[in-house]
Amino acid sequence: MVGSIGIALSGLTAQTRRLDASASNVANVRSTGTMPAADGMTSNGTAGDRRAAYQLLAVAQTDANPGTRATFTPITPAYLQEYAPDDSAANADGMVAAPNVDLAKERVNQMAANRAYGANIAVVRTQDEMLTSLLNAKV
């Protein structure tokens, strides 16, 4: 019976990470960075001394028996090319790497995380009520 609290707490942690990843993605929606090149150099020929493009995050949940484990994973494609010749990270063609953030998808992720968080809280609350009832019955 007490094991359900641990499972619910792992679910709470997973949903917190999910919300953290989504919030980070939304907060960086307009950040830009230097276009990466295949040779490890940035597209403007420097060795990474310019700011890198923001790496989008997602959360992968896996079975942790009991409970769940949540880990941050990168989303691909991480960036889109955007024309911004006045940006300090722009290459010779005026292109920068802009995060590939879908705001509608992020909002859905946030709502789903909120609902799942609430469901896990309900499990903890119900478990607490059941234990309290059990202890009162034994007195």
Residues 14-57 have pLDDT tens digits of 999 999 999 999 999 999 998 876 544 544 445 455 678 888 99
Q: What is the mean pLDDT of residues 72-99?
A: 90
For residues 33 and 49, is the Cβ–Cβ distance under 8 A?
A: no
Position 65 scores a pLDDT of: 83
Give the orientation angle of helix 103-138 with respect to helix 3-27, to 10 degrees. 160
Q: What is the mean pLDDT of residues 98-112?
A: 94
Q: What is the mean pLDDT of residues 98-118?
A: 95
Position 66 scores a pLDDT of: 85
Question: What three-state secondary structure class fits 49?
Answer: coil
Position 138 scores a pLDDT of: 66
Q: What is the mean pLDDT of residues 117-129?
A: 93
Q: What is the mean pLDDT of residues 101-115?
A: 95
- Report if pTM > 0.85: no
Q: What is the mean pLDDT of residues 55-73?
A: 89
State how far the Cα of 72 lies from the Cα of 14, in Å rounded to an integer: 10
Position 1 scores a pLDDT of: 52
Q: For residue 67, give Cα distances in angstroms to 18, 53, 62.
A: 16, 34, 9
Show me where the domains of the chain are located: 3-138
Position 51 scores a pLDDT of: 77
Position 104 scores a pLDDT of: 96
Which of 108, 88, 104 lies closest to 96 in space, CA to CA?
Answer: 88
Residue at token pair 């960036």? 79
Tokens of 107: 């909002």
Q: What is the mean pLDDT of residues 121-139?
A: 87
Q: Rounded to 5 degrees, what angle do the CA atoms 115, 126, 64 make?
A: 65
Q: What is the mean pLDDT of residues 110-127?
A: 95
For residues 8 and 123, is the Cβ–Cβ distance under 8 A?
A: yes
